[in-house]
Structure 1
Amino acid sequence: MAGTLAILERHLTIYKRNWYASVFSSFILPVLFVISIGIGVGSYVGTVDGWEYLSYIVPGVLASGAFQTAIGESTFPVLGDFKWSRAYHAMRATPLRIKDMIFGWQLYIQIRVFIASVIFLVVSAIFGAVHSPWVVVTPLICALVALATAAPVSAFSAGLENDSYFALLFRFIVIPSTLFAGVFFPVTQLPLLVRPLAYASPLWHAVELCRAAMLGTPPPWPVAVHVGYLIVLAVGGLYWADRAYSKRLKD
């Protein structure tokens, strides 16, 4: 545990020096998105599933923000610490274990996502988009989807030699998930053949859980199924990350 906390302290120290670089993407952009799409476009859309569009879209934007933050922090930063700064190799030369590197990094991402989620929820409440006391669990949902996303993406990044594959990741995973995983409209409006792809995305499960918590309505699947799916992805991702980091650090 001491090693994990040491890694966490390192990342927090670095973030303390350049936190301003993430203010726009983590805090300001989601709020602007809610105002422009939720209120602006929402005035034309009307209601979705019986809710005004602002209330419908806010949980999706919340989950999507956690999803995108997790991927952003698990791509270039991970590859950079392996290939360019070789920070992981320096850590390997110390008593720190590979599990400490992985858990410390993932814990750092959890803290980032949790804080951003809380701030976003406060703003959402001001706009009247919170309708249930269950909203208190949404930061935990965001933290879970962040882990379910960041763990496998970190493992993927650890096995790369250059950043060209990240363009494919963002083009074929991040953008389609953001557009078609229930953030802006119900997945049931998609063609039947396409829906399984949305269901496979961890973002869809997080969106539905956040929407259920903020609106006080039941999710389309049992809560245990949504949570269980995210936990399976997280555990599998951590295992993959352990294998990928170990292989990369043999040199």
Structure 2
Amino acid sequence: MPHNDLRTPPTLMQRLLAVWFRHFRVYTKNLISNGLPPFLEPLVYLVGIGLGLGAYIRTMNGVPYINYLASGLLVSTAMFTATFECSFGTFIRLEFDKVYDGMLTAPITVNNLLVGEIFWAGSKGFFFTFAVMVIIAVTGVFPIGRIYPVPLIGFLTGVMFATLALFITSFVKNINHFNFLFSGFISPMFFFSGVFFPLDRLPAWVRPIAEALPLTHTVRLSRAICFAQPDKFLLFDLAYSLLFSAVFGFFAVRRLKHRLVD
């Protein structure tokens, strides 16, 4: 390599990919224990809830209940993995392992580091959604030829919840406080975002709250792909998801930047 190339600073994409690749290498060191659960967890839901509850609820909104459930589970798994990655995972790297201190000695900025974190969480959302898609296709719930674009919605879901989790992490001083995030917000959202039943089954005063929840919008996008039912309202869902990611990402990076520099 020419001598002047050694002094050429890495491009923005190279810096972001360096952060992504670092997390990828750590994740794949325990590939079986990390990669197998995403394929097993949807089986538990599909068998335990889809088949069990499906024996009593034959259809939901005119489709078999197991199909209705599966179309929501595709992206809800991305929510959980991205939130965990950028809450507990980020906090451990920040406060206990001091990983970021070492990473910032490389030619990357704090912004590069945090944006790389977000894209890594989005990639995990893509992979977890892909894993659920494989199980759903193998079990014959949906044909793979119809639902193959859904992992892209999983990526969007992962990015969205990564920005939210990073924003929360910027305030947290004790790792145990994340229990409030999961028990008080993420888990209730799982049940009130249209994964298990339509929002119009909720009381009138609860529906606006459910519509404001971020998971609601990517579940709707996923379901539209699964049932091949495009709707102009889906543009609002997409815009909401992108705007949510941009706003929370901006404030998360801004707050964590001060914390890392200090």
Q: TM-score range by the shorter chain?
A: over 0.9
Q: Percent same amino acid at aligned positions?
A: 28
> 226-235 or 23-32, which moves further after superposition?
23-32
Cα deviation for residue 158 of structure 1 reads 3.1
2:45 aligned partner: 33
**One-letter code of the match for 1:223?**
L
8 A Cα contact 2:28 2:34, kept in partner: no
Cα-Cα RMSD? 1.8
Superposition map of 1:1-251 within 5 A: 1-23=13-35, 25-130=37-142, 134-218=146-230, 222-251=233-262
- Residues 204-242 of structure 1 show CA distances to partners (whole Å, capped at 9, x for unaligned) of 1111111111012245x7111000000001111221122
Cα deviation for residue 2 of structure 1 reads 1.5
User: Which secondary structure does the structure 1 equivalent of 2:30 belong to?
Assistant: helix
- In structure 1, C-alpha distance between the alignment counterparts of 2:33 and 2:136, rounded to whole Å: 23
2:8 aligned partner: none
- In structure 2, C-alpha distance between the alignment counterparts of 1:177 and 1:229, rounded to whole Å: 16
8 A Cα contact 2:111 2:257, kept in partner: no
The gaps in structure 1 that reach 5 residues or longer are none
- Classify 1:192/1:25 alpha carbon distance in 2 versus 1 (closer, same or farther; 3 Å): farther
> 114-123 or 188-197, which moves further after superposition?
114-123
- Residues 22-78 of structure 1 show CA distances to partners (whole Å, capped at 9, x for unaligned) of 345422111221122112221211111111111110011111111111111111111
Cα deviation for residue 89 of structure 1 reads 2.1
> 186-195 or 97-106, which moves further after superposition?
97-106
The one of the two structures with greater contact order (alpha-carbon pairs below 8 A, sep at least 6) is 1
- In structure 1, C-alpha distance between the alignment counterparts of 2:229 and 2:182, rounded to whole Å: 31
The gaps in structure 2 that reach 5 residues or longer are 1-12
Higher-Rg member (1/2) = 2
Shift >3 Å, 4+ stretches: 131-134
- In structure 2, C-alpha distance between the alignment counterparts of 1:48 and 1:174, rounded to whole Å: 24
- Classify 1:33/1:182 alpha carbon distance in 2 versus 1 (closer, same or farther; 3 Å): same
- In structure 1, C-alpha distance between the alignment counterparts of 2:106 and 2:139, rounded to whole Å: 49
Cα deviation for residue 149 of structure 1 reads 1.0
8 A Cα contact 1:149 1:233, kept in partner: no
TM-score of the superposed pair, with normalisation by structure 1: 0.93
Cα deviation for residue 196 of structure 1 reads 1.4
Cα deviation for residue 131 of structure 1 reads 6.1
Count of residues paired in the alignment? 250
- In structure 2, C-alpha distance between the alignment counterparts of 1:239 and 1:51, rounded to whole Å: 40
8 A Cα contact 1:73 1:150, kept in partner: yes
> 92-101 or 64-73, which moves further after superposition?
92-101
User: Which secondary structure does the structure 1 equivalent of 2:106 belong to?
Assistant: coil
Cα deviation for residue 90 of structure 1 reads 2.1
TM-score of the superposed pair, with normalisation by structure 2: 0.89
> 123-132 or 103-112, which moves further after superposition?
123-132
- In structure 2, C-alpha distance between the alignment counterparts of 1:228 and 1:23, rounded to whole Å: 31
User: Which secondary structure does the structure 1 equivalent of 2:149 belong to?
Assistant: helix
- In structure 2, C-alpha distance between the alignment counterparts of 1:135 and 1:21, rounded to whole Å: 26
